C-alpha cells in the first residue's frame, strides 16, 4: 500500500509539472526580411499597396506597434540583436561583410531550451555559423534563393523543390505536428521574402493585373538641404536598379516547367518595355511600377504563410496559449527618396512592422506609439516563459506595453548605429538618437564627418536638416546630452574598430557588385 501511495504521489507531481509546463505560453515568431510597414494594410499607407488580411489579423486580435525601431538596419546584425537582446557592438555581429555570429554566447532560444521549451528555427538565418539553442533547424545557406533552394538541415545540405516561402511554411508546420507535445515550444519561422530581388511565387504573377501604383511624393527627391551621405548613396531606382531586379533576366534556379510560366508572364511585358526605349523619369517610373508589382506579389505568399500558421494553431487548440509575433528585420524603401534597400536612421529604414497577439495579455485591437524595438524581443519571450532575463541584455519586456501599462521609466529616446561601408550601397556609417519627434545623426568613419538634425513633426519626410537653425539650438543641445548618455549606458566604444566598417576600398565595392544580395 505504501508503495502504491508513493507511486501515486510521484505521478501526481509529474502531472503537476506537466500542467505547469503546458500553462507557459508557446511562442511563434514569424520574421520576414525587408518587409516595409508601408506594405501591411493594417498600417494604412495611403498608396494601399497590398491587402494583408492574415498579418492584419494578428494586430486586430492583439497590438499593432507604430514605432518599433531597429538598432542597426541590416539583415544579419538585426537577427543577432533579436537572438541576444544586445546591440551589435556587444554581440559581435556588426555587419554583413566580415561578421560571424558567436553561437556560444547567451541567446534567448538557449535559455528557453534550458527551461524545458522545445525550440526550432526554419528559413533565413544569415549569421554564417550554425544555429545553436535549437532542437531542430533547417535554414537557407547565406541569403538563400527563391526557387528550389538548397537548405541546411541539422548540418546536412539538402535541395528542396518549390517556392521558398511555401517550403519554409511547410517545414514549420511539419515540425509543429511532430514536436513533443508535452513541452511548450518556440518556433522561429523566418522568411527570405520579400528581400531583393523580390521574386514572387509563380501563382502570384499578375495577381494585381496591370495596376498602376501611386508614386510616393519623394520618388524624385533631389536631396537638396542635406549632406553628401544621401547624395552619394548607391541604392536608387534610377542608378542602382539592375536587370535582375527588373526581371529582365530570369533566375537560374528555375526548372524548365517553372521557366515556361515565368516567361509567359514577363517576356511580353519585357518586350514592350524594350521597344519603348525609356529614359530619365519615364524609366524610373517604369522601374518603380515593376518593383511594386513584384514586391507586393512576393508578399502575398508571406501573408498566406501567416494564415496557415494561425489556422494550424486554432485547429489544434493552441491559439489561446500561444504568443504570435509578426515582424521584420528592418524597414525598407518602396520608392521613397527614389530608393530601395534600408540601412539609414531615416524612418522607412529604421521603423519595422510589429504586431503581437498574446491572449490574456495583449489588448485586442490596441495601437501603441511607444518606442519599442527588436532589441526587446528576447526579453519579452523570456518574460512570457517565466525565465529570468540576464543582466547583460539591453532591452525590456513588452508585456506592460501590451497590457496598456507603460512604465514611468520607459524609453523616450533610442540609440541607432550602422557601420558597413562602402559596399554594397555606399551608405556612410552613422549613429544617432531618435525620439518621438527628433533625430540627431552623426555620419562618421569617412572624410565626410558631419551631423544632421531632423524634426519629423514639421518635416515628416525628413527633407530638411535643421542643425544650424538657431530655433533648434536648445533641442540640439538636449539631444547631444541624451546621445552621450545612451552611448555610455549601452557601452558603445568611443573608437570604432576599422574592421567593423566592413568592405572598405575599391575591392570591397567590386565584391559587393558581384553579390548584390548582401543584406
Tens of pLDDT, residues 161-202:
999 999 999 999 999 999 999 999 999 999 999 999 999 999
Residue 505, pLDDT above cutoff 50 = no
**Banded model confidence at residue 504, pLDDT cuts 50, 70, 90:** low
Q: What is the pLDDT of residue 503?
A: 65
Q: What is the pLDDT of residue 23?
A: 86
Predicted TM-score (pTM) of the model is 0.93
**Banded model confidence at residue 519, pLDDT cuts 50, 70, 90:** confident
Residue 5, pLDDT above cutoff 60 = no
Q: What is the pLDDT of residue 373?
A: 98
Residue 517, pLDDT above cutoff 60 = no
Going by C-alpha positions, the residue among 141, 72, 61 that lies closest to residue 427 is 72
> Average per-residue pLDDT in the chain?
94
**Banded model confidence at residue 518, pLDDT cuts 50, 70, 90:** low
Mean pLDDT computed over 421-431: 96
Classify residue 102 as exposed, middle or buried by CB count within 10 Å of its CB (0-12, 13-18, 19+).
middle
Cis peptide before 492 (omega within 30 of 0): no
Tens of pLDDT, residues 86-97:
999 999 999 999
Cα 302 to Cα 86: distance, rounded to the nearest angstrom: 28
CA torsion, ordered 296, 302, 305, 309, to nearest 10 deg:
-120
Confirm if 207 and 300 have CB atoms less than 8 A apart. Answer: yes
Residue 6, pLDDT above cutoff 50 = no
**Banded model confidence at residue 13, pLDDT cuts 50, 70, 90:** very low
Q: What is the pLDDT of residue 502?
A: 83
Residue 514, pLDDT above cutoff 50 = no
Residue 4, pLDDT above cutoff 90 = no
**Banded model confidence at residue 22, pLDDT cuts 50, 70, 90:** low
Residue 509, pLDDT above cutoff 90 = no
Mean pLDDT computed over 292-305: 98
Q: What is the pLDDT of residue 19?
A: 41
Place of cell 538563400: 144
Range 28-359+368-514 classified under CATH 1.10.10.10: no
Place of cell 526605349: 277
Q: What is the pLDDT of residue 112?
A: 98
The share of the chain scoring above pLDDT 70, in percent, equals 93
Amino acid at each position: 500500500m505504501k508503495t502504491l501511495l508513493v507511486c501515486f504521489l510521484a505521478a501526481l507531481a509529474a502531472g503537476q509539472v506537466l500542467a505547469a509546463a503546458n500553462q507557459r505560453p508557446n511562442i511563434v515568431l514569424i520574421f520576414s526580411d525587408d518587409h516595409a510597414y508601408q506594405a501591411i494594410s493594417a498600417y494604412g499607407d495611403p498608396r494601399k499597396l497590398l491587402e494583408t488580411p492574415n498579418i492584419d489579423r494578428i494586430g486586430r486580435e492583439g497590438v499593432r506597434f507604430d514605432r518599433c525601431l531597429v538598432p542597426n538596419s541590416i539583415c544579419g546584425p538585426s537577427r543577432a540583436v533579436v537572438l541576444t537582446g544586445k546591440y551589435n557592438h556587444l554581440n559581435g555581429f556588426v555587419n554583413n561583410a566580415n561578421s560571424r555570429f558567436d553561437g556560444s554566447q547567451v541567446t534567448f532560444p538557449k535559455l528557453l531550451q534550458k527551461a524545458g521549451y522545445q525550440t526550432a528555427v526554419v528559413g533565413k538565418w544569415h549569421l554564417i555559423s550554425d544555429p545553436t539553442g535549437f532542437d531542430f533547424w533547417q535554414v537557407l545557406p547565406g541569403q538563400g534563393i527563391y526557387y528550389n533552394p538548397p537548405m541546411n538541415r541539422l548540418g546536412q545540405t539538402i535541395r528542396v523543390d518549390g517556392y521558398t516561402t511555401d517550403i519554409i511554411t511547410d517545414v514549420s508546420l511539419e515540425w509543429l505536428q511532430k514536436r513533443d507535445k508535452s513541452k511548450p515550444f518556440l518556433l522561429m519561422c523566418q522568411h527570405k521574402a520579400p528581400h531583393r530581388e523580390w521574386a514572387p511565387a509563380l501563382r502570384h504573377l499578375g495577381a494585381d493585373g496591370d495596376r498602376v501604383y501611386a508614386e510616393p511624393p519623394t520618388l524624385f527627391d533631389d536631396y537638396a538641404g542635406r549632406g553628401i551621405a544621401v547624395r552619394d548613396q548607391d541604392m536608387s531606382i534610377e542608378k542602382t536598379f539592375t536587370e535582375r531586379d527588373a526581371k529582365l533576366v530570369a533566375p537560374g534556379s528555375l526548372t524548365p516547367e517553372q521557366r515556361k510560366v515565368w516567361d509567359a508572364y514577363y517576356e511580353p511585358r519585357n518586350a514592350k518595355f524594350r521597344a519603348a526605349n525609356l529614359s530619365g523619369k519615364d524609366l524610373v517610373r517604369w522601374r518603380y511600377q515593376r518593383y511594386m508589382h513584384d514586391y507586393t506579389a512576393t508578399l502575398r505568399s508571406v501573408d498566406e504563410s501567416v494564415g496557415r500558421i494561425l489556422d494550424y494553431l486554432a485547429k489544434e487548440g493552441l491559439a489561446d496559449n500561444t504568443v504570435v509575433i509578426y515582424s521584420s528585420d528592418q524597414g525598407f524603401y518602396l520608392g521613397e527618396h527614389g530608393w530601395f534597400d534600408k540601412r539609414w536612421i531615416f524612418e522607412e529604414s529604421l521603423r519595422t512592422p510589429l504586431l503581437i497577439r498574446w491572449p490574456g495579455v495583449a489588448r485586442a485591437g490596441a495601437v501603441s506609439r511607444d518606442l519599442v524595438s527588436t532589441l526587446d524581443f528576447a526579453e519579452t519571450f523570456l518574460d512570457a516563459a517565466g525565465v529570468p532575463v540576464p543582466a547583460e541584455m539591453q532591452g525590456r519586456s513588452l508585456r506592460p506595453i501590451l497590457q496598456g501599462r507603460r512604465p514611468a521609466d520607459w524609453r523616450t529616446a533610442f540609440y541607432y548605429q550602422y557601420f558597413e561601408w562602402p559596399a554594397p550601397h555606399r551608405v556612410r556609417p552613422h549613429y544617432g538618437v531618435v525620439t518621438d519627434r527628433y533625430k540627431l545623426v552623426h555620419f562618421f568613419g569617412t572624410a565626410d564627418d558631419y551631423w544632421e538634425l531632423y524634426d519629423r513633426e514639421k518635416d515628416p519626410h525628413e527633407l530638411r536638416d535643421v542643425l544650424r537653425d538657431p530655433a533648434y539650438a536648445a533641442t540640439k543641445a538636449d539631444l547631444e546630452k541624451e546621445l552621450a548618455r545612451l552611448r555610455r549606458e549601452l557601452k558603445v566604444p568611443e573608437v570604432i574598430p576599422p574592421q567593423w566598417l566592413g568592405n572598405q576600398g575599391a575591392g570591397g565595392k567590386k565584391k559587393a557588385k558581384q553579390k548584390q544580395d548582401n543584406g
